[in-house]
Amino acid sequence: MSVTACQGLGFVVSLIGFAGMIAATCMDQWSTQDLYNNPVTAVFNYQGLWRSCVRESSGFTECRGYLTLLGLPAMLQAVRALMIVGIVLGAISILVSIFALKCIRIGGMEDSAKAKMTLTSGIMFIISGICAIIGVSVFANMLVTNFWMSTASMYGTMGGMVQTVQTRYTFGAALFVGWVAGGLTLIGGVLMCIACRGLAPEQTSYKAVSYHASGHNVAYKPGGFKASTGFGSPTRTKKIYDGGAHTEEEAQSHPSKYDYV
């Protein structure tokens, strides 16, 4: 799979998962009434993160929002926070990934910058999907616990006869939507991270060769003359041949600059 196809597929999958997360958060069917062994079928109750609804057999539905914040269970507030964090991270990831798409050229943006943006959006998509999955799983665990506690309290110790009728809730459609949406967002983030490796430019290593110039300071004059070097005593002089750069003694004692390669 090419880099462009992998990046585009990850973006589309993450976008679908993000839309599913918003839909699951806004849905009212997080928990629905369990109709098993329930003699009252004229009324159907279901609850969401933001309100609870009652649907009558006539088709009339009445919903009432949760008018309190401190009175809600702590687990419900935690699920709300996880879903909101997942949606916010998903929205930021979508904005970043749009500019990081390889098929979209914005100014003189280099591939290395697009690779970093793709990796950032992929990680944020992964965290967003994990938040959604954890939030839905926490709510499902709360439902399971309340279901079995309600079931245990419904039956007495004498012959297992039903003593009271209580409303029990089971999994709603929003839970399955949230699980699927979180999984899609997570998969899309992984694909974006994989595409990042193909966008990063390959670094070619070159063998560097260092050249060290000769450290002797030689003064040139036409004809024979005396010149001093920077390494010897100021009183030490040598005779230079016409048209030459070094004396015979200097050529023997000091190697050429190309010997330092």
Average pLDDT of the residues in 123-130: 95
* Of 28, 65, 25, 73, residue with least CA distance to 48: 28
Q: Tell whether the model's pLDDT for residue 261 goes beyond 50.
A: no
- The SS3 assignment for 24 reads helix
Residue 238, strand partner residues: 227
Spatial contact of 65 and 26, defined as CB atoms under 8 Å apart? no
The stretch 51-65 carries a mean pLDDT of: 86
State pLDDT tens for residues 69-80.
788 888 999 999
70, 76 Cβ separation under 8 angstroms? no
Predicted TM-score of the model (pTM): 0.69
The reported pLDDT for the residue numbered 4 is 81
pLDDT higher at 196 or 231: 196
Tokens representing 186 are: 């997570």
Q: Which two tokens stand for residue 187?
A: 């998969």
Percent of the chain with pLDDT over 70: 67
